Structure 1
Amino acid sequence: MIKDKNIICISQTTWHGEFTKSTVQLLSLLAEHNNVFFVEYPFTLKDVVMSLLGKQKAQVGRMLGLKNRIVDEKTENGSIVKHLVMPPVLPIDFIKNKTAFKFLFGINTYLYKRQLLKVIEKYSLSNTIIMTAYNPMYGLPMIGQLNESLNVYYCYDGMDTRRHKSRIFNIEKEFCSKVDGIITTSDFLNSEKKKLNSNSFVVKNGVDYKLFVPFAKKSVSKSTTPKKIGYIGTLDQRFDIDMVEHSVNELPDVLFEFTGYLLNNTIVERLSKYPNVSFFDPIKANEVPKLLAKYDLGIIPYIMDEVNKNIYPLKINEYLAVGVPVVMTAFANLTDFKNIVQVANTKEQFKEHILNELTNDNDALIKERIAFAKQNSWEGRAVEFGNILEKFYNEKSQESSLK
C-alpha cells in the first residue's frame, strides 16, 4: 500500500455532509500513512451571495480568505486530512457561447491553479500525486501545471449534463486519455474507461463496517406491527417512481419510508397520497445504521438507463451490514451480489421479490448478509486503492528514469 506520499485530491464534493462519500472514506484511511489534502468543490460567487442571504450553506469566510482556507480535519481513525476551501469562481456553466465560456473558464482555472500552487509552496510539497475525484472539469486544465509526479482519475459515476452541460462528455474523454491511470467503482465504468486509457482498474465501494455492526440484527423481527421497507439516499431523477408506486399500491399493509435529500418533487407528489408512505429529511452518516436496523427490507429502485449502468451503490453494503434483505432494480450488472440480493426487471417482479423477502427471511440469511458486508469494508477497499496508486507511481517513476 502506498506510503509517505503527498496526495492532493481535486474533488467534486464537499468533505462534510449527511451522506457517505467514497472519496472521503478512502482519503481518511490513506491519510494514516500519507500527507493528504482535500480540495473542496469550487463554489461560485453566486453561492457566496446565496449563503449571505441565508438560502444556502457555504463556508463564506474561508472562501473569501477571512478565515484560514486550510484547516485540519481529524478523521474517525485519528489521521489528519488538510481541508482546503478554494476562492469563489465565476458561475459560468449556463453560458452556451464557446468563446465566452472558454475565456471565463480560463479565469476560473487560473484562480484554481494559483491557489493550489500557493498550498504546494506553503507546505513544500514535492513528488505530489494529484487525484481528481469525479471532477474532470478542473482536473484536465491542472494536468502538468502542479509539478506533480502522478495524475490519477478516480471516477465513481457516469457523467451527466446536470452540472456542466453536454460539454463535460468531451472534457472527460480528453481527461481520461491524458491521466496516468484511472480507478473506477464498477466493472461497467471500468470497461468504458479502458477504451480511453488501458491503465484502468476497479475498486468498488465499501461500508464502514465498524459503524454498522453494533446495530446489526440478531434475528427476524417477531413484531405484529406492519413490516417496514426503507430507502435511504438522494431522491432524484435516478429514482424509478413507477416501480415503487406499483409496490406501494399493491402492498397497502406494508409501510414504505424514504429518507434523504429531495431533488425530484415528483416523487413526493406521486407517492405521498398513499397512507403507507412517509418521507423524512436526510440524517447524518453516523445515524444511518440505527435507522436501517429498524427496517425489514431495503430497496434500491433506480431507473434502468444508460447513466445508472455506471453505479455501484454505497447503500447496498450498508443494508447488508445490518442484516437487512435488499431488493433492487436491474439498473446495473452487479454480479458480486448475485446470490445475496434480489434483482427485478419489472414492477411486478419488484413487488414479488419484496413479498418473498419479507415472508421468507430468517436468522441464517441475516448472518450471511452481515458476513458478506464485512468482506467489503472501507479498510479493505483503501488497501486495494493504495496498492493501485503505488503501482501507478512506481510505473511512472520507472518511465521517468528511462527518459
Structure 2
Amino acid sequence: MIEGKNIICISQTTWHGEFTKSTVQLLSLLAEKNTIVFVEYPFTVKDVVMSLLGKQRAQVSRMLGFKKRIVEEKTDDGAIVKHLVMPPVLPVDFIKNESIFQKFFSINVFIYKNQLRKIIKKLKLNNPIIITAYNPMYGLPMIGKLNEYLNVYYCYDGMDTQRHKSRIYSIEQQFCKQVDGIITTSDYLNAEKHKLNAQSYVVKNGVDFKLFEPHAKKNVSSPSAQKKVGYIGTLDFRFDIDIMEYVIQELPQVLFEFTGYLLNQNIKERLSKYDNVAFFKSVKAHEVPELLSKYDLGIIPYKMDEVNKNIYPLKINEYLAVGVPVVMTAFANLTDFKAMVKSAENKILFKSYIEHELKHDNDLLIKERIEFAKLNSWESRVVEFGDFLEKIIENKYSF
C-alpha cells in the first residue's frame, strides 16, 4: 500500500453526489496514509448563473471565493480529504473553430493552473503525484506545470463527444502518450490504452462491502410474492430501451423498478405507461444497499455498442453484495463474472434469463454471490491501485 505521498486528483466529477464514484472510493482509502487533494469538476460561469437561478447545484459561494475554496472532508473511516473548488471557468466546449476555442480555453487553463499552484504552495505539497481522473481536457495542459513527481491517468470509461465534442479524442490520445502511466477499470479499456502507453494497468471497480453486508439477503422471497426486478443507476444514453420494453411486455407479472438520475427522458416516456413499471428519483449512496436487498433480481440493460464495451459497471458488485442474481446485456466482455452473472446477446435471451433466475434462485446461490462480491471490496482494489502507482514510479525512476 502506497503511503506518505502528496496526491492531487484532477477530477471530472464532484466529490458528493447521488451515486457511488470509483474515484471517491479509492481516494477515500488512499487518504488514510497519504495527503489527498480532490479537485472538484471545473464548473463554468454558466453553471454559476444557472445555480443562482435554482436550476443547478454548484457551490457558488466557494467558487467565487466568498467561502473557503478548500475545505476538509471526512471519509467514512475518519480520514481527511482536502476538497478544492475551482474558480468558475469560461464555457468553451460549444466553440467549433479550433483556433478560437484554444484562445478561450487557454484562459481556463491559466485559472486552473494558478489555483492549483497556490494550493500546492499553501499546503506545501512537494513533489505531488497527479492523478487525472477521466479529465484529459485539464490533465494534458497541467503536465510538467505543477512540479509533479508522477503523472497518472485514471480512466474509468471510454471518451464520448457529449461534453467536449470530437476534439476530446485527440486530446486524450496525446494525454495517454505523455503521462507516466495509466490505470483503467476494464480489460477492454486497458487494451486500448496500452497501445498508447506501455505503462497501462487494470484496477477493476469494487464495492463498499462493509456498507452492503448488513443488508445482504438471507433467503429468497416467498414463492407467492410478486417478483421485483430492479435497476439502480443513471438512466442515460447507455440504457437499451428497446430490450427493456420487450421484457416488460413479455413479463407482465413481474414488477420492474428503476431508480436513478433521469438523463434520457425517452426511457420514462416509453416505459412508464406499463402497469408493472415504477420510476423513482435517485437515492443517496448509503441508501442503496437496503433498496437493493428488496429486489429479487438486478438488471443492467445497456446497449451493446462501441461506447459500452469500455464499461465495468459499479452496480454489478453491488447487486451481488446483497445476494441478488444479476442479468445484463452482453455490452462488455466481463469474464470475471462469467460463472456468476447471466449475459444476454439479445432480447429473447434477456427475458428468458430473468425468468430462469427468478424461478431457480435459492439460499445457497445468495450466499455464493455475497462471498464473491466480498473478494471485490474497495479495500482490496486500493491495494492494487497503490501497487501500480509504485510500479509506475519504479519504472520512471529506475534509470
**Structure 2 residue 14 is matched with structure 1 residue 14:** yes
Query: Which residues in structure 2 correspond to 1:190-339 (within 5 Å)?
Result: 190-222=190-222, 224-339=224-339
Measure how far apart 1:107 and its partner are.
0.4
Deviation at 1:393, TM superposition (A): 1.8
Taking the aligned partners of 2:79 and 2:390, their CA distance within structure 1 comes to 20
1:50-89 correspondence to structure 2 within 5 Å = 50-89=50-89
Q: Is 2:156 the partner of 1:159?
A: no
- The within-5 A match list for 1:139-158 is 139-158=139-158
1:106, 1:172 → 2: CA distance? 17
Q: Determine the structure 1 residue equivalent to 2:110.
A: 110
Cα deviation code 1:42-99 (max 9, x no counterpart): 0000000001111110000100011000000000011000000000000010000111
Displacement after TM superposition at 1:199 (Å): 0.5
Task: Return 5+ residue gaps in structure 2 as ranges.
Answer: none
Return the offset for 1:394. 2.6
Listed one character per residue, the Cα deviations across residues 208-244 of structure 1 (whole Å, up to 9, x for unaligned) are 0000000000011115231000000000010001111
1:347-379 Cα deviation digits (max 9, x unpaired)? 000000000000000011000000000000000
Matches of 1:158 and 1:395, distance apart in 2: 26
Q: Distance in 2 between matches of 1:124 and 1:328?
A: 47
- 1:358 matched to which residue of 2? 358
User: Which letter does structure 1 place at the counterpart of 2:270?
Assistant: R
Where 1:153 maps in the other structure, the secondary structure is: strand
**What is the one-letter code of the residue matched to 2:356?**
N
Pairwise CA distance, 1:390: 1.3
Tell me which residue corresponds to 1:94. Answer: 94
Q: Which moved more, 1:295-304 or 1:390-399?
A: 390-399
Deviations 1:257-289 (A, max 9, x none): 000010001101110110000000000000000
Distance in 1 separating the partners of 2:54 and 2:302: 33
**Distance between the aligned counterparts of 1:194 and 1:388, measured in 2?**
14
Q: Residues 28-67 of structure 1: matches in 2 within 5 Å?
A: 28-67=28-67
Give the match for residue 384 of structure 2.
Answer: 384
2:229 partner SS: strand
The residue aligned with 1:183 is 183
1:391 CA displacement: 1.4
What is the alpha-carbon distance in structure 2 between the residues aligned to residue 359 and residue 9 of structure 1? Answer: 46
TM-score scaled to structure 1, two decimals?
A: 0.98
Amino acid at match of 1:294: K
Structure 2 distance, partners of 1:364, 1:204, is 26
Per-residue deviation at 1:144?
0.2
What's the CA shift string for 1:113-163, capped at 9, x where partnerless?
000000010011111100000000000000000000100000000000000
Cα-to-partner distance string for 1:144-185 (whole Å, 9 max, x where unaligned)? 000001000000000000000000000000000000000000
SS in 1 for 2:398: helix
TM-score (norm 2): 0.99
| SS, match of residue 379 in structure 2 | helix
Does residue 119 of structure 1 match 2:119?
A: yes
* Amino acid aligned to 2:340: I
Task: Give the Cα separation in 1 of the matches to 2:77 and 2:380.
Answer: 14
Distance 1:110 1:46 in 2: 18
1:331 counterpart letter in structure 2: F
How big is the shift at 1:397?
Answer: 2.8
Identical positions, percent = 73
Secondary structure, counterpart of 1:82 in structure 2: strand
| 2:257 match: secondary structure | strand
Structure 1 residue 301 displacement after superposition: 0.3
The aligned amino acid for 1:368 is: E
Paired residue secondary structure (2:73): strand
Measured against aligned partners, the alpha-carbon deviations of 1:304-346 in whole angstroms (never above 9, x if no partner) come to: 0000000000000000000000000000000000000000001
What is the one-letter code of the residue matched to 1:254? Answer: V
How many residues get paired?
A: 399
Task: Report the secondary structure of 1:295's partner residue.
Answer: coil
Distance 1:40 1:340 in 2: 36
Q: Which residue does the alignment assign to 1:398?
A: 398
What is the CA–CA distance in structure 1 between the aligned matches of 2:33 and 2:215, rounded to whole Å? 30
Query: SS where residue 162 of structure 1 aligns?
Result: helix
- Give the secondary structure class of the aligned counterpart of 1:9: strand
Take 1:190 and 1:142, find their aligned partners in 2: how far apart are those partners?
23
Q: How far 1:398 sits from its partner (Å)? A: 2.7
